[in-house]
Structure 1
């Protein structure tokens, strides 16, 4: 009972942390979720069986008398559990139930299907929440990242109520994988900021010249080079640039000579 209370208290603390952080792992499919801050993707597909069997079969719980089977990605079959992700097995009542009508109906119970999974980040870990097909039961699987766990490990806590169950899955697959950065070709050859600024500059220059020339020619009846707007300024601009460069060069040389003399 103390273990159950501790689990509930820990989950409550983690839920408060999640409210503070605001970060979430958005479901992309029943095997993966993507962090909304761009920090990466958690994908369980590498450790899931695709042949209708479970990765973890009949694992005992640390808090109740039931055994549990779990396939992190994909469905499996176990007696009355059909197309499930998690199945609960009542081993203690199996012998009694075989004498009853429909013996496996209550011995094996669906407590989570892949189609009804959601991912929630609690501030420390991503928790995969599976719901049974009938919607009455929930299983919460805490995904713990461990780069050394190439072979996944499952710790079954079991049921804290009649409808909620808890597990901890430790695996390298729970570690966020950074999303690949698309190349410029993959992005459709988008323009850089410099290119956009150059385009804006030349467009404005064209508009300035077109409007200025038209105004000077039509309204002011100018001819020749005078039709260029502010022609006096443009005529003196090369000389101003030359004088500016000469002044800058002289200043640099003077500072250098002073530095050498010191």
Structure 2
């Protein structure tokens, strides 16, 4: 009889969970100011026209022109900082060119990342869903790193809210899950009423599922063991 110390259903759940966690969302760049998400939704900043988004703080004014470039310190840039010395004196600072834009997705939000010509400054603009807002540009803060200093912004708008349509990857996962459930149900019914099996033996290919779970356990155990050895070695070196 198959050993049931680790239920087959739990093993299946682990395998499915690992598969779903491995899926990452992307937004494929189509122009300098647009991209297409996995579910087919198009994020296009051209809908705002030639509008220059602006945010003011006590010491600086930040301007962003998503689909074009503007003059910033005698260089054409898409995002610029104007340090305010007095109402009539402002010093521009390059924060990123439109040709350097890179699209990523984090926590469901599309992120545009720019770099300036010198290469030591980055700017990120997160496109955040905000029901009821047409477009609000916010300066979130600056982070100083070892190589880069990063200026973080948000553009909040109702136009960035998801359409709730399913992506191709999600549809494939749903279909595979349905096929797996149908396979298990029909397999269990067949094994019980035709093969006269019971317990864990009624699960189709129970031995194979059990082996898969064992491999996962062995993998975790191996990883934890190696990490433990590395930590101990570090402690010995410190001593």
Query: What TM-score, normalized by structure 2, do the two folds share?
Result: 0.51
* Structure 1 position 149 matched with structure 2 position 140: no
Is the 8 Å Cα contact of residues 39 and 178 (structure 1) preserved in structure 2? no
Structure with greater proportional strand content = 2
1:12-57, Cα deviation, whole Å (9 max, x unpaired): xxxxxxx85411111111111111x3331111111141xxxx6124
Unaligned runs of 5+ in 1: 1-18, 99-103, 180-262
Which residue is equivalent to 1:55? Answer: 52
- Residue 98 of structure 2 aligns to a residue whose secondary structure is strand
Is the 8 Å Cα contact of residues 69 and 86 (structure 1) preserved in structure 2? yes
Map of 1:57-72 to 2, 5 A cutoff?
A: 57=54, 59-61=55-57, 65-72=59-66
Is the 8 Å Cα contact of residues 141 and 166 (structure 1) preserved in structure 2? yes
CA distance in 2, matches of 1:146, 1:137: 28
Map of 1:1-262 to 2, 5 A cutoff?
A: 21-35=23-37, 37-49=38-50, 55-57=52-54, 59-61=55-57, 65-78=59-72, 80=73, 82-92=75-85, 107-150=91-134, 152-161=135-144, 163-175=149-161
CA distance in 2, matches of 1:115, 1:165: 18
- Residue 91 of structure 1 aligns to a residue whose secondary structure is strand
Q: CA RMSD in A?
A: 2.9
CA distance in 2, matches of 1:89, 1:143: 22
1:70, distance to aligned residue in structure 2 (A): 1.1
CA distance in 1, matches of 2:123, 2:34: 17
1:178, distance to aligned residue in structure 2 (A): 9.4
CA distance in 1, matches of 2:152, 2:164: 28
Q: Which has the larger radius of gyration?
A: 1
CA distance in 1, matches of 2:157, 2:67: 13
1:53-103, Cα deviation, whole Å (9 max, x unpaired): x6124x224xx833211112211225x2532111011113787xx7xxxxx
1:126-161, Cα deviation, whole Å (9 max, x unpaired): 1111111232211011101235323x1111123222
In structure 2, relative to structure 1, the CA distance for the partners of 1:118 and 1:176 (3 Å cut) is farther
1:181-212, Cα deviation, whole Å (9 max, x unpaired): xxxxxxxxxxxxxxxxxxxxxxxxxxxxxxxx
Unaligned runs of 5+ in 2: 1-20, 166-239
